[in-house]
Structure formats: C-alpha cells, structure tokens
C-alpha cells in the first residue's frame, strides 16, 4: 500500500461501465470505493457515464467516441481482448497495485498475471454459482414448458462454465454479495476462506420515501421490477397474487421487459384486470414510492439491487430466500422459500388484511435502510480488500488456490 495507507486497486470490468444491470452495479461500486478512500485505477471495456473525479479511467476497447462493437466481434472475443489488455497493463504496474478486482468471463489472463506478480485478487460473483444457476433455471423452464434462447445468459453453456470455474480457482477470493451466493459456491466445493461477503447498495439521492400520508383504507399496490424471466419467479408472484384477497381490489404492477416465450406462457394471468404490465421503466424510484410492497420470488439471484432500492423508498419486501435481499423475516420484510406459492399468497393476504403489520414492517425497514447505501457498501468492500491483502501476505488462504495447482493450470490452458 502507499505510504498513507491508501489501498491501490486495479478494477477490471469487461463491459460498458455505467450502462444497465451489472454495468450499473460496477459503476456504483467504483464510485463508492473512491468515496471510501481507495485509490482506484479502473479499466472498463468502455464507459457510459463519468465516474467520481480523481479516479484513473482507461478503457480497453474504446478511444474517444469509438467503441469496439461487441456485436461485430462477438462478446467472447471482446472480453478476451479486454482481459489480455488489462493483463499487459498490470504487468507494467509492478509495485503500484495492492489488489486486483475483476469480473467474470473477462479475467482469466489478468488473474494469472496477478498471481505471478504476487498480487492478491478478488473476483466478483454477482450471481449464484453459474453451474447451479444454469441447472436450476433449466429445471424450472422445463417444468413450465418455456424454452430459453441458445444465447440466453442462463442457457447451459459448458465453455462459459469451464472458463468461469478456471477464473474462480485462480482468484484469491470470490466476492459474494449475499449469503445465498456464498452458499451456492460453498456447496460446489469452494473453501470458506476463499469466499468473502460484501454487499451492494442503493443511491440515497435517487431512492427515498415519499412524504404523503398512507391511508389504512387505501387499495394496495404490489410491484415487480426486473427482467421478466423465469429465474426471477414472476410466475410464482402472479399465481400468489391471483390467489390472494388483495387481487380483488388492489393492483399488481410489473415493470420490466419479457422473454417472449415466458410472456406467452403467463398470458392468461397477465390478462387479469388487477395486473398492469408497464414494460421497461425509467421512473422506478417513483413507482416504488407509490407502491406498498415489492415482490421478488427469484429462484436464483445475486443480490438484486431493487430490494435495497425498494427498502429505501418505503416499499416493503416480499422476497424469496434466494433474492439476496438484506432483510429479516417478520422484522422488516416477509421472506418465503423458493417456489412456495402458498406462503407468498399468505404473505400478500396478511398485508392486505393487517395494515398495522404492513406499516410496522415499513417503518422498521426504513429505520435501518441507511446501513445498505452504496457508501456503506464501499466501506465494507474496502475492509474486504484490506483483510485480503493482510491474509495473503500471511499465506492465510487454502492451498487449492495458492499456489496454483496443476489442475488449475490445465483449466487455464483449455479455457483460454
């Protein structure tokens, strides 16, 4: 580390920093790290919006207004080129980097160079273990009769899985944003010392509660926000909503784009007069402020940002145990087992019939929402960096990841 104790980070992101979904997550993560006091050198493939002043930013696949089009060269080649460029840059930064933070599928070569230089590494695991996710999503798709496109992120892809496994085995630690993510990796054989818990957050400048009083006699609004795909469990939410008493007078708002085959499968439930399909929306914060509870019955997840954003907006959580939400059942949220439609139905009905419970959960959720901001997430991640650097220096990691075994060397060669 530098003389003033500042952690010097090389942050590698193989996509467009600041764009949608995980690109937004990475953008906030970089900014929160800088705010927490880290010295961040970020290498994105390209950048969509500026990061905090003082951050060193050097895109790998963009120059000025030119961006290498992923559709032209293919995502696989593009992320491999990004990885190669970052690895070369890292090799030229000997003695100037304390830790490397990389993202999946675009980190293999970078992780290998970091190991050769004796630099500890962290690999973001923004979702459940990929093999687990592919298997459980495929199983649910088969049950529903929904076919995933061959290029869908959760369609089985042996090559992708092999490469991610090689990256995971090379990394000093895997960054798990929820207990659920950590558990799926632990169950796949990763040593507990290689798994580090951090968290994502919400932007308090965007997500905050409304100041309008809430009548106990109002008709309830349930909200779903996210990509409308099988893994998010929207079908469970629809079934539970229509079975609950809330559907007789309330409204279920669905904000997000559908996988066409999935929408066709759910058509009859979506046609119910209490259900409104909004499509992709940019006013999510306002929707949350005006809704009573957010439903997210995911069958697999990383740590959905919408759960923290909903809490900050005064929107009570009705989520599955796989949602990655930071909450406690019956304290500030209602949590059900994956696929338990009866329990979710009961939870919706409880909030419909017991407005005192709804308000208590809302107040308690808002009371501790400041603990899950992006600022808090940045401080927690910086603590993980420091702990990893110290443990690495003391050889406090399992031998299956340091030094690199022959098996991992073989994986690197075959996956590269």
Domain boundaries, the chain: 8-201+374-415, 221-371
In this prediction, residues 342-358 reach a mean pLDDT of 97
> What CATH number does the domain located at 8-201+374-415 have?
3.40.50.2000
pLDDT at residue 62 greater than cutoff 80? yes
Gap between the Cα atoms of 86 and 10, Å rounded: 9
Gap between the Cα atoms of 28 and 314, Å rounded: 21
Model pTM?
0.91
pLDDT at residue 408 greater than cutoff 80? no
pLDDT at position 83, please?
98
Q: Which CATH class is domain 221-371?
A: alpha beta
pLDDT band of residue 195 (cuts 50, 70, 90) is very high
pLDDT band of residue 72 (cuts 50, 70, 90) is confident
pLDDT at position 215, please?
75
pLDDT at position 206, please?
98
pLDDT at residue 415 greater than cutoff 50? no
More confident residue, 405 or 322: 322
Gap between the Cα atoms of 197 and 254, Å rounded: 31
Which residue has tokens 């995971």? 168
> Are 127 and 303 spatial neighbours (Cβ–Cβ below 8 Å)?
no
User: 247-302 pLDDT, tens per residue?
Assistant: 999 999 999 999 999 999 999 999 999 999 999 999 999 999 999 999 999 999 99
pLDDT band of residue 406 (cuts 50, 70, 90) is very low
In this prediction, residues 96-112 reach a mean pLDDT of 97
Nearest to 302 by CA among 103, 32, 75: 103
Gap between the Cα atoms of 86 and 125, Å rounded: 19
Task: Give me the chain's average pLDDT, please.
Answer: 92
pLDDT at position 296, please?
98
Express as a percent the part of the chain with pLDDT over 90.
84
- Region of residue 54 (phi > 0: left; psi between -120 and 50: alpha; otherwise: beta): left
147 half-sphere exposure, CB direction, 13 A CA radius: 2
**Residue 1 CB coordination number (10 Å):** 13
Query: What would the two tokens of residue 111 be?
Result: 């992780």
8-201+374-415 and 221-371 agree in CATH topology: yes
Strand partners, 317: 294, 333
Which of the residue ranges 96-105, 145-154, 227-236 would you say has the lowest mean pLDDT? 145-154
More confident residue, 325 or 69: 325
Which of the residue ranges 117-121, 215-219, 412-416 would you say has the lowest mean pLDDT? 412-416
Report which DSSP code applies to 329.
B
pLDDT at residue 405 greater than cutoff 50? no
pLDDT at residue 100 greater than cutoff 90? yes
In this prediction, residues 201-219 reach a mean pLDDT of 89
pLDDT at position 209, please?
97
- Beta-carbon contacts of 138 under 8 Å, excluding residues fewer than 6 positions away, are 148, 154, 155, 156
In this prediction, residues 66-70 reach a mean pLDDT of 85
Sheet holding 99-102, edge to edge: 56-57, 39-47, 8-17, 99-102, 121-124, 173-176, 195-197
CA distances from 155 to 140, 164, 271, 357 (A): 12, 15, 28, 40
Gap between the Cα atoms of 373 and 381, Å rounded: 12
Rg (C-alpha) for the chain, rounded Å, is 22
In this prediction, residues 122-137 reach a mean pLDDT of 96
């Amino acid at each position: 580390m530098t003389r003033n104790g500042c952690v010097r980070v090389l942050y590698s992101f193989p996509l467009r920093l600041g764009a949608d979904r995980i690109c937004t997550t990475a953008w906030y993560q970089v900014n929160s790290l800088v705010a927490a006091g880290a010295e961040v050198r970020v290498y994105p493939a390209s950048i969509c919006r500026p990061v905090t002043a003082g951050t060193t930013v050097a895109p790998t696949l963009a120059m000025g207004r030119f961006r290498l089009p992923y559709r032209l060269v293919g995502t696989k080649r593009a992320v491999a080129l990004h990885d190669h460029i970052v690895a070369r840059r890292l090799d030229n930064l000997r003695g100037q980097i304390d830790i490397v933070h990389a993202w999946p599928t675009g980190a293999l070569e970078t992780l290998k160079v970091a190991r050769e230089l004796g630099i500890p590494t962290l690999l973001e695991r923004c979702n459940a273990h990929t093999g687990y996710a592919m298997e459980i999503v495929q199983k649910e798709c088969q049950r529903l009769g929904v076919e995933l496109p061959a290029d869908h992120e959760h369609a089985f892809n042996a090559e992708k899985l092999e490469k991610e496994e090689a990256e995971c085995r090379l990394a000093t630690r895997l960054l798990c944003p929820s207990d659920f993510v950590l558990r799926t990796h632990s169950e796949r054989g990763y040593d507990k010392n290689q798994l580090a818990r951090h968290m994502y957050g919400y932007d308090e400048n965007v997500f905050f509660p409304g100041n309008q009083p809430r009548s106990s006699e109002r008709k309830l609004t349930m909200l779903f926000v996210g990509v409308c795909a099988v893994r998010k469990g929207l079908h469970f939410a629809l079934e539970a909503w229509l079975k609950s008493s809330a559907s007789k007078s309330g409204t279920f708002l669905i904000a997000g784009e559908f996988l066409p085959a999935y929408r066709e499968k759910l058509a009859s439930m979506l046609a119910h007069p209490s259900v409104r399909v909004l499509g992709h929306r940019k006013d999510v914060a306002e929707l949350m402020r005006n809704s009573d509870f957010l439903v997210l019955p995911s069958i697999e997840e990383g740590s959905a940002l919408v759960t923290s954003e909903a809490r900050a907006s005064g929107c009570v959580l009705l989520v599955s145990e796989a949602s990655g939400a930071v909450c406690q059942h019956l304290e500030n949220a209602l949590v059900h087992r994956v696929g338990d439609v009866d329990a979710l139905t009961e939870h919706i009905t409880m909030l419909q019939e017991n407005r005192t419970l709804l308000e208590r959960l809302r107040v308690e959720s808002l009371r501790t929402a400041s603990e899950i901001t992006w600022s808090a997430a940045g401080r927690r991640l910086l603590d993980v960096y420091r702990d990893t650097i110290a443990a690495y220096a003391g050889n406090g990691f399992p031998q299956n990841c340091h030094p690199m075994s022959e098996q991992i060397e073989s994986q690197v060669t075959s996956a590269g």
